[in-house]
Structure 1
Amino acid sequence: MYQTGTRLRDIRSNYHRTLKEMESSVLMALRNFRVYHKLSPPYSVLLEKKSKDGKRDETLLFESGAIAVLNADETEQVMKNYLKAMDAYGCLGVLPITIGDETLLYLVVVTNSSSIGKIGDAEIFRITNTNFISLRNCLQEDDKISEIRKLLNSGTFYFSWSPASSIQFDLSLCAQKATKATDTDNRFFWNRALHVLPKRYGVDVDNWLIKVMCGGVEMRTVYAANRSAKACLISRLSCERAGTRFNVRGVNDDGHVANFVETEQVIYLDDKISSLVQVRGSVPLFWEQPGFQMGSHKIRMSRGYEASAPAFDRHLNQLKELYGNQTLINLLGSKEGEHMLSQQYINHHRASPHHEDIPMESFDYHSECRGGNLKNLDKLKRRILPRLLQFSFFGCDGSRIDLNQSGTGRTNCVDCLDRTNSVQSIIGLELVAKQLEYLDITSKQLVSRFQELYKQMWINNGDHISRIYAGTGALGGGRSKASDAARSASRTVQNNFLDSSKQEAIDILLLGSTLRGDITDKARALLTPTSLHGTHTK
């Protein structure tokens, strides 16, 4: 018996060692970028990307604010003047940032990452470290650069890598959209601003630069007889109205809402794919929480009813265009500010031209599930599941599309974090059996295995989204009251002391820095967070 146990431990140990070795070899193969610099005037930087056989094809030369593509012969002629600076796994592009009266350019590269897993030939990576190379040889790093690097290194940014011979996997597209679209979904393309300058100089950005998504990726392999299925949960945070919890709330004039997240529960088995999409987002009205102490929710409407209606309708129009039919799931409570916000949401919905074809289900989560009594969620399930089942999910077998998802559930609470994730997880766990049935997986044991895995993945998903928006992991989800209290206190510290610098980092990453530094600083001092982010456009 002892020998059998020892053998099993050895097998598991060897298996995990093999996995680590495989991941290491993939990372080494991916690490085919090298950065060189020339310190003598004029200062310049060379970016080299080696081909599969290790040969040098082309390089990018960055000098005096311009970018040139050098062929192998041209590179050979100038290379003797350059020193190696670092190796990298990928390049995000060139970040322009205004400091004082001048605009500085930084080449941003990924210097460390961890593999999440594979989908077909594509490997998904989480960024764990980046480096910013000044294209002006500025030795002293500005605080803004430090904050942007901290943001990118936070473990919430991802990219995919596929062999050159394979079809490239686009993390910004859910499975259903990927069968119909070849263009990246710009809502989830977080480093788009960093592609602008290289494009302007004729650089083939698809060959040289990676596209980065912000959110969360969970992946598990499940063995079914002699086949292996890949169970994934992918959350994509929109960058159209991005920001931290108390800096960005509600809607803007374009109909984009704060903390808008598309979450895809997708299973891959051989050539078959089964995908279910849900969305979450802030209440699509103009509102804010100007005062925030621990446990306080001082919500106030920042625009009147008439001024909010166009943006509200614009948001629902966008949802219908992007996802089809909708069901609104409103989890706001009946206490103080939440009740007022919920009533405003309900009133706008009743008066909206979308009232007839977009139903709303309001459910006071805190009141109904007081003391962790989640059994009362059965009431909500009975009300929303029939319509969500009508929407179905996406299913394809190779190039043959068998099922299309015709609509989504749009869930919200105040922050669209803990309560929202809880309800979305229940919807996902209810429908995973249907997804598996499409994949011809009907064994009770296997279905139960998938449900257990997805239960944990949904908990992790809540943590990913909460870290981005609130700065800490999610509350609830089976954790202790002491753990929740600690995280709640941590959120308060985060909101009071750290959010403003993180918000500025997000703005610069997404928009670049187009204003002179002193003007930007004065504008930030004069404008409220609502005003500043009210016209956040694509």
Structure 2
Amino acid sequence: MVDSLLSTDIYESFNLYSHPEKFFLEPTDLGGGAASKHYLEIDRHTNVMRIVDSRKQRVPIADTDIKFIYGILGTIKLVSGYALIVITKASFIGQVNNHNIWTIQDTEIIPYKKTTLHLTEKQIRYNRMFTDMLTHVLSIGGFYYSTTLDISRTFQWLQENAVPLFKTRSMLDRSSERFVWNGHLLSQIRQVPGAERYTLPVIHGFIGQNRVNVNGKEIKLTIISRRSIYRAGVRFYKRGVDAEGHAANYVETEQIVEYDTPDKHLTSFVQLRGSIPLLWAQKPNLRWQPMPTMKPTDDQLAAFTRTFGWHKQHYGGKHVIVNLVNQKGREKKVGGELERIARQANIDFVRYHQFDFHKECHAMQWHRIDLLREQLSQEISQFGYFYLSPNSIESSRFQQGFFRTNCMDCLDRTNVVQSMLARESLTEQLRMLGILYPEQKVQDIPLLENLFKHLWADNGDECSRQYAGTGALKADFTRLGKRTYLGAMNDGVNAVSRYVRNNFGDGYRQDAIDLFLGNFLVDSSDLPNSLETSILSTDQNGLALIAALFAMSMTILCLLVAGRNDQRLSLSPIVIFLDNATATLFWLIIFFVCMMFIFLNGEEFVNTPKLKLD
């Protein structure tokens, strides 16, 4: 199509015409003006898509609902048939290198079929469940896009691959498959000739931005965190690496500085986080912290080698593993194995570095994080950062190495350490740009330090919510630079909330993510019966739970009856208690026996994924 050849930018917005027979998506600019002489037509019965020239065939207006939308997330097959997912509300975040960045605030799932009369009652239930799962994932938040900039790639990667042929490809084709969360949803549209500018890549993670004046010079500081689609999921159900070496909770974080003088100077520093790169599991089982498990038959050396072979392929340079897990207790098993395997692998571009975070910083001695900074200071300088010079490519710099930080969850301790490394790199970048004086540090500029802390705390909170269901622990140190008793209390609340979510809600969340990413495909003729199983069943586990609830109710009832007798007969509370002691004690024993059975068989009582087995 003529206008598709003029640009590879995604259309900014659309008029969505919903007709009983077809959808019509007409490209517009954000002001509502026409942006193309063509539109996308989707047949709601045959599922056929095609690009139509509006000069030859106008969009029919009769019997058509018109809605303004910001973009197309894609299509997905549900029980009733295909559904179109569109962005109905988006919020402007800011500009990165003069490109607009948006976050998705609201979406709509529109079925092709206008009714469900063709479905059985079971199919209607499942169709509703799958739709609710998609809605749940989209409600998590943290989805971002740009119609002109590939935000799935680091600036260093874009500079290294800035060849003319590459730039002629569509935005989706040249984006990183690892970080495009709607890649599966766009698979149908991307096959339509001429539809390249309709396929909007969306990343999941965090983007935050602030402007600040430092020594009379204004800079813009941006953080972009990109969550990988590989081994994506929730805490406990996604741990370690898969057969290809992709790590759970893998996040690539890029800290970007922009400075206009008036020529634009741009620097960036990339860090990585991901689950301990071995084959291990930690399934929830009602205990506060399940014990990590590893199979003796698993080839840990091969898993580790594949992981860092993958790192070398995508990043190049050297890599330092910063392992923050405890060197005693339940964490030692996996952490100690990582150290052993790293030494055995002896990969020339990988160095293992151990720092027992909880031991070094116990009793709120958080200033001791400086020990780690000193241990890594030489490599922070050696690895450097990316610098895009406004003058010539020869004047640019490239990051030579990368820190890959992990604790058990890669959330709380990891974010604290990543923010420390980012601060050290930021100091060097601002000195190079002439914004900080030679002896100045980021922490010497209160306004800059405050904005920096809050950006990284927001990043940690967002990454934590997406993986564990709550904001990050230890966020007060990242946000305020010190550990507080109020922060410790907040950590306690979040820890309890995580326990409840991880044991009783994360199975559903994992299923929803697998459906969204295409790890599970809906087949209306083969619906998984496991989705309708209830924990209150007639097997031994269901009976144990029912018995525990009944025994608890009877115990409370006995105590209440004793209270009423006390009021009616004016007897001593001790006498009343003795009259009811036998019944109360009996039901209390039954309750504790049932609870002991439940906890001994904890894995049978937690909310587990039902769509795709790991």
Name the TM-score class by shorter chain. Answer: 0.7 to 0.9
Q: Which residue does 1:62 correspond to in 2?
A: 42
> Take 1:531 and 1:299, find their aligned partners in 2: how far apart are those partners?
23
Q: Which residue does 1:237 correspond to in 2?
A: 227
Q: Which of 513, 531, 540 is the matching residue for 1:506?
A: 513
Q: Which residue does 1:217 correspond to in 2?
A: 207
Amino acid corresponding to residue 309 of structure 1 in structure 2: L
Task: Check 1:488–1:292 CA distance in 2 against 1; reply closer, same or farther (3 A cut).
Answer: farther
Q: Which residue does 1:396 correspond to in 2?
A: 388
| 2:239–2:275 Cα contact (<8 Å) kept | yes
> Take 1:297 and 1:518, find their aligned partners in 2: how far apart are those partners?
37
| 1:127–1:153 Cα contact (<8 Å) kept | no
> Take 1:489 and 1:348, find their aligned partners in 2: how far apart are those partners?
34
Task: Check 1:226–1:290 CA distance in 2 against 1; reply closer, same or farther (3 A cut).
Answer: closer
Moved more, 330-339 or 455-464: 330-339
Shift of 1:228: 3.4
TM alignment of 1:263-274, pairs within 5 A = 263-270=253-260, 271-274=264-267
Q: 1:414-458: CA deviations, max 9, x gaps?
A: 000000001111111122110111222125598623333211111
| 1:188–1:239 Cα contact (<8 Å) kept | yes
Matched, 1:282 2:282: no
Matched, 1:88 2:69: yes
Q: Which residue does 2:488 correspond to in 1?
A: 481
> Take 1:70 and 1:131, find their aligned partners in 2: how far apart are those partners?
24
Secondary structure at 2:350 match in 1: coil
Task: Check 1:420–1:433 CA distance in 2 against 1; reply closer, same or farther (3 A cut).
Answer: same
Q: Which residue does 2:244 correspond to in 1?
A: 254
Q: Which residue does 2:303 correspond to in 1?
A: 311
Q: Which residue does 1:23 correspond to in 2?
A: none
Q: Which residue does 1:164 correspond to in 2?
A: none
Matched, 1:423 2:417: yes
Higher strand share: 1
> Take 2:503 and 2:475, find their aligned partners in 1: how far apart are those partners?
25
CA RMSD, 1 decimal: 2.6
Matched, 1:152 2:134: no
Matched, 1:122 2:99: yes
> Take 2:454 and 2:352, find their aligned partners in 1: how far apart are those partners?
28
Secondary structure at 1:125 match in 2: strand
| 1:128–1:154 Cα contact (<8 Å) kept | no
Amino acid corresponding to residue 361 of structure 1 in structure 2: H
Q: 1:50-80: CA deviations, max 9, x gaps?
A: 257823622211111110211113442x513
> Take 1:242 and 1:517, find their aligned partners in 2: how far apart are those partners?
25
Matched, 1:410 2:404: yes
The TM-score, its normalising length taken from structure 1, stands at 0.84
Moved more, 389-398 or 193-202: 193-202
TM alignment of 1:182-193, pairs within 5 A = 182=166, 183-193=174-184
Q: Which residue does 2:13 correspond to in 1?
A: 32
The TM-score, its normalising length taken from structure 2, stands at 0.74
Amino acid corresponding to residue 46 of structure 1 in structure 2: F
> Take 1:226 and 1:429, find their aligned partners in 2: how far apart are those partners?
20
Q: 1:333-361: CA deviations, max 9, x gaps?
A: 1343201111111111111141x442211
> Take 2:416 and 2:331, find their aligned partners in 1: how far apart are those partners?
18
Amino acid corresponding to residue 379 of structure 2 in structure 1: R
Task: Check 1:511–1:172 CA distance in 2 against 1; reply closer, same or farther (3 A cut).
Answer: same
Secondary structure at 1:243 match in 2: coil
| 1:250–1:288 Cα contact (<8 Å) kept | yes
| 1:284–1:312 Cα contact (<8 Å) kept | yes
Task: Check 1:470–1:123 CA distance in 2 against 1; reply closer, same or farther (3 A cut).
Answer: same
Secondary structure at 1:193 match in 2: coil
Secondary structure at 1:462 match in 2: helix
Unmatched 5+ residue regions in structure 1? 1-29, 162-167
Moved more, 286-295 or 365-374: 286-295
Q: Which of 46, 50, 53 is the matching residue for 1:71?
A: 53
Shift of 1:244: 0.6
Q: Which residue does 1:370 correspond to in 2?
A: 362
Task: Check 1:531–1:403 CA distance in 2 against 1; reply closer, same or farther (3 A cut).
Answer: farther
Shift of 1:470: 0.4
| 2:325–2:335 Cα contact (<8 Å) kept | yes
Shift of 1:294: 6.0
Q: Which of 83, 97, 110 is the matching residue for 1:133?
A: 110
Shift of 1:488: 0.9
> Take 1:133 and 1:530, find their aligned partners in 2: how far apart are those partners?
25
Task: Check 1:337–1:219 CA distance in 2 against 1; reply closer, same or farther (3 A cut).
Answer: same
Q: Which residue does 1:11 correspond to in 2?
A: none
> Take 1:105 and 1:457, find their aligned partners in 2: how far apart are those partners?
39
Amino acid corresponding to residue 110 of structure 1 in structure 2: I
Q: 1:170-220: CA deviations, max 9, x gaps?
A: 111111111123521111111111221112232422x11211000001100
Task: Check 1:90–1:530 CA distance in 2 against 1; reply closer, same or farther (3 A cut).
Answer: closer
Moved more, 444-453 or 253-262: 444-453
Task: Using the aligned pairs only, state the percent identity.
Answer: 30
Q: Which residue does 1:17 correspond to in 2?
A: none
